[in-house]
Structure 1
Amino acid sequence: MDRTAPDTLNAEAIREDFPILDRKIGGSELVYLDNGATSQTPQQVIEAIVDYYTQYNANIHRGLHTLSQEASIAYEEAHDTVADFIGADGREEIVFTKNTTEAQNLVAYSWGMNELGPGDEIVLTQMEHHASLVTWQQMCKRTGAEVKYIPITNEGYLDMEAAESLVTDDTKLVSVSHVSNTLGTINPVDELAAIAHDHGAYLFVDGAQSVPTRPVDVGALDADFLAFSGHKMCGPTGSGALYGKKEILEEIEPAFYGGGMIRKVEYEDSTWHDLPWKFEAGTPGICEGIALAAACEYLSDIGMERVQSHEESLAEYAYDQLARCDDVEIFGPPGNDRTGLVSFDVEGIHPHDLSSIVNEHGVAIRAGDHCTQPLHGTLGVPASARASFYIYNTHEEIDVLVDVLHEAREIFH
C-alpha cells in the first residue's frame, strides 16, 4: 500500500508496517503516544535485523571469510546512509554510538577532558536533557571550567538576547537541544552556531528529538557536533550516531581504546585508525548500525518533510484539544509553533496517576520529569504528563486520549 500522498503522509497505511500496533492493552486497542522516549519499529527494520543474524552475522574488519566481508561492507555502507540522511560529507563524519548520551560523553572525554580548564566556559540552555546537562556539568567540575545557562522565556523559547551576552571569548562550547523533549520548542540552532563561532566556540546539537521528526542538514545548521538516537526514529535500541566535522574529529583524541580503532600497536605506543573507526573501539553494535541505516532509509522513503508536517499537525491538534480544558496547563510554545509533543499538567491529578489511569484504556503516555529535572523546577512543577506523536499516530488517537482524561477527572473529582 502507498504510504504517502503527494504532500501528505498516509498514517493508516504506515500503521500496517508496525506489528506492535495490533496489540491490545487491557482489552483496548493500543494508542502509543510515548514516541519522544522510544518509537516503534517497522517490519522493514525488523527484517534487516533478522537478515543480519540469519545471513551474515560475523565480526567486521577482522576476517577474510565471506560472512566477515559481507558484514564489514554492510556496516561501512550504513555509515554512508546515515551521513546522507543528515547531510554530512561522508562516513568519516559519522561515529556510531549506543545513543545520544554516549555521543555527548564521547565528545566530553575526547575533547573536553583535554581542552577545558579554569577560566573556560560551557554554555547550555535551561531546557537541556540530562544527557547534555549532567555530562557537561560533571566535565566542568573535573576540569575547573564554568557552566552557564541560557534562560527560557515565559512562552518556552530561548532568550536569544541573553544568549548573545552569555557566550563570550571564554566560551569553548555551546550545547543545545535542537528540539526540547519537554516543551516541544524548536530552537534556532543556526543562530546559536553563528554566535558560538563568532567567539571561536564549538556548537554541539542534541538532535535526539529533531533528527527523527524533521529534515536535518548539519551543513545548513553549521553544527560542529550533532548526536541522535536510533530508538526514537524507527531503529533499534542501542543505536545512535555522533556527527562531527571531519577536521575536528581528526584533531581530537579518542575517548575509548582497544581493538578496531588502532593502526599500529607497539609496547611503547600506538597510532589510531582512520575516521570514523578511530572512535569505535572494540566490536561495535554491527547489527544495530545496519538497522539504524535501514530506519533512515524507511523514513527517507516516506519523506522527512511529510514526517515533519504530520507531526506538527498532530501537535497543533493535541494542543488545541487540551487547551479547551480549564484544568489543564500546557507547557511550551503555542500549538502552531512546536514539534510533535505536548507536555501538560491536569489540576489535582499527579502525572504518574494520570499515566496509570490512561494506560488502563490502552493509552501510553509519559509521566515524570522527562530527564529535565532542572527545567521542571523552572516551570514550577515536579513532573508533567507528555504525549508525543509519530508517523503512525492519528488525530483520532488524540481524541481517545482527551476522552480518557475526562474519565480520569471523574475518578479524582
Structure 2
Amino acid sequence: MTTAHQLPLSSPWRQDFPVLNTQVHDKPLVYLDTAATAQTPDPVIRRMEHFYRHEYSNVHRGNHQLSMTATENMEQVRHQVAGFINAPDARSIVFTKGTTEAINLVAQTFVRSQLQPGDEIIVTEMDHHANLVPWQMAAQALQLKIKVWPVTPSGELETSDLKKLITDKTRFLAVTHVSNVLGTINPVHEYIQVARQHQMAVLVDGAQAVLHQKVDVQALDCDFYVFSAHKLYGPTGTGVLFVKPHRYSQMPPWEGGGAMIDKVVLPLGTTFNKPPLCFEAGTPNIAGILGMGAAISYLMETGIDAICRHENNILNYCLAQLQSVDDVVIYGNPKSRTGCLAFNLSSHHAYDVGTFFDHYGIAIRTGHHCAMPLIERLGQNSVCRASFGMYTNKQDIDRFISALHQIKALLD
C-alpha cells in the first residue's frame, strides 16, 4: 500500500505561476490560500495583456475590426465555458462579475417571479454568505420562509435531513458543491434527485468545485450552477451563471442598460435582447472573460484528472503531517474532501496563529471565512484554513508544518 509520504508530491506546473517567486518578510512565499483566490499562471496574464495591447475595444457595438475581433473572441469563451461544464448550449452561459452576482441574479429574477408569499427556500449551514444572504433578502421582500439544512458533526449534509425539511410549500434549494471551509464534497446529484421529486428548482454554488474536479451540469441536472474565474486560476471580477435553458422564460431581465435591449421606446415599451444577453447589461469585463478562457484552456491542456490526483496527494500528505503537531484540532471529517483543511491550534486565537504564519512567509486564511453559521456550528468564532492548488508541493507543506511547530512553541 502506498503511504502519503511515498506519493509524488512535486508540482510540474509550479513554474507557470510567477507570484510564487515572491519574497514575504525576506522568505520565499508559501501560498496556502487558494480557496480565497487561486494564483494566475503566465498564459492567463499574457492573454489579458495581449488584449490590452492589440485588441482593446468594446463588444457587441461596432462594425470595425477591433470590435468584431473582441466580440468574436469573447463569444468563443462562452462556448469554451459551456464545454468546460458540459452545458447543453453556449446560450445557457451568462457572464457575471462572479459567483456572488450570479446568485443575486437568480434571486432577483427567478425567485422574485416564481415564488409566492409563504413559499419555502432551503439553504444550508455549510454555505458561504453569498449563497445565504441573497435568499434572506428575497425572503424578507417576498414574505418567503427560509429553512436551514443542518451540518452533521462530521461536516456533511445528510440527504435524510433534506427530506425532513421539504413540504408542499418548498420551491427552491441552494447548496454548495464543495465547502469553502471544510472542503466537504457534497453529493449534489443525490440532493437534486430528491428536489426533482418535489418539483423544486436547485442552484449549486460551484465556486470551490470547478478547480478541483470535473463538473457536468447536465449529469447533475441542476437548474443553476455558478462559479468565479478567480477561483479557477483566472482574473477577479469575472464569473459564470449556468441556466438550464427552459428556466430563462421564468427570469425577467434584472439590470437595465446597454447591450441587453432589443428596442427602446419612450415613455414605455422597451423590449429586451434574448438570453443570455438580456442579463449582461453594460460593458462586460472583456479582459477578464478572455483571461477566464485562457485559464480554462490551461486547465484542459494540463488535464483536470492529473491536477485532482496531485491535489488529493497534497491534501492527504498534509493531513498525515498534522498528526505530528500536538493540540491541533482539524474541523470536519467528511467521507469526501478536497482543496482545504480548517484547523485551530489548541486554544490560541486563529488571528494570532495566522499572523505568525505570515511572519514565516506562509499565507493562510483566518476568520469566519464568510461562513458564520458554519463556524458557529463548529463552536468557534474564528478558524485557520490552509487551502491547496495545482502549484502546492511537498516543500510548501513541510514549511507549513515546521512553522506550526514553531508557532506552538512560541504561543504555549
Shorter-chain TM-score bucket reads: over 0.9
Q: Deviations over 1:25-52 (max 9, x none)?
A: 1121110000000011000000110011
1:192 equivalent in alignment to 2:191: yes
> What is the letter of the counterpart of residue 309 of structure 1?
R
1:224 equivalent in alignment to 2:223: yes
1:331 equivalent in alignment to 2:328: no
- How many Å separate the matches in 1 of 2:307 and 2:253? 35
Note the 1:52-67 alignment, pairs <5 A.
Answer: 52-67=51-66
Counterpart for residue 347 of structure 2: 348
Counterpart for residue 4 of structure 1: none
Counterpart for residue 125 of structure 2: 126
Task: Provide the secondary structure at the position in 2 that maps to 1:353.
Answer: helix
Q: CA deviation at 1:351?
A: 0.8
Alpha-carbon spacing, 1:15–1:263, altered in 2? closer, same or farther (3 Å): same
- How many Å separate the matches in 2 of 1:308 and 1:342? 16
Give the number of equivalent residue pairs. Answer: 405
> What is the letter of the counterpart of residue 389 of structure 2?
Y
Task: Provide the secondary structure at the position in 1 that maps to 2:153.
Answer: coil
Note the 1:132-147 alignment, pairs <5 A.
Answer: 132-147=131-146
Percent identity over the alignment?
41
> 8 Å contact 2:110–2:250 — kept in the other structure?
no
> What is the letter of the counterpart of residue 305 of structure 1?
D
Counterpart for residue 47 of structure 2: 48
- Structure 1: gaps of 5 or more residues: 1-7
Mean Cα deviation higher: 211-220 or 159-168:
159-168
- How many Å separate the matches in 2 of 1:11 and 1:244? 38
> 8 Å contact 1:178–1:209 — kept in the other structure?
yes
Q: CA deviation at 1:73?
A: 0.2
Counterpart for residue 5 of structure 1: none
Q: CA deviation at 1:20?
A: 0.7
Q: Deviations over 1:190-231 (max 9, x none)?
A: 011111111111110000000111100001111110000100
> 8 Å contact 2:325–2:404 — kept in the other structure?
no
1:179 equivalent in alignment to 2:175: no
Mean Cα deviation higher: 36-45 or 248-257:
248-257
- How many Å separate the matches in 2 of 1:159 and 1:359? 37
- How many Å separate the matches in 2 of 1:270 and 1:297? 39
Counterpart for residue 293 of structure 1: 293
- How many Å separate the matches in 2 of 1:145 and 1:251? 18
- How many Å separate the matches in 2 of 1:310 and 1:337? 16
Mean Cα deviation higher: 382-391 or 301-310:
301-310
Q: RMSD between aligned alpha carbons?
A: 1.4
- How many Å separate the matches in 2 of 1:124 and 1:271? 34
> 8 Å contact 1:30–1:363 — kept in the other structure?
yes
Counterpart for residue 376 of structure 2: 377
Alpha-carbon spacing, 1:87–1:11, altered in 2? closer, same or farther (3 Å): farther
- Structure 2: gaps of 5 or more residues: 1-6
Give the number of the structure with larger relative contact order, counting CA–CA contacts within 8 Å between residues 6 or more apart.
2
Q: CA deviation at 1:94?
A: 0.5
Alpha-carbon spacing, 1:9–1:406, altered in 2? closer, same or farther (3 Å): closer
Task: Provide the secondary structure at the position in 2 that maps to 1:59.
Answer: coil
Counterpart for residue 279 of structure 2: 279
> 8 Å contact 1:96–1:239 — kept in the other structure?
yes
Q: CA deviation at 1:10?
A: 8.4
> 8 Å contact 1:250–1:275 — kept in the other structure?
no
Note the 1:11-410 alignment, pairs <5 A.
Answer: 11-267=10-266, 268-333=268-333, 337-410=336-409
Task: Provide the secondary structure at the position in 2 that maps to 1:16.
Answer: helix
- How many Å separate the matches in 2 of 1:255 and 1:310? 41
> What is the letter of the counterpart of residue 226 of structure 1?
Y
Task: Provide the secondary structure at the position in 2 that maps to 1:337.
Answer: coil
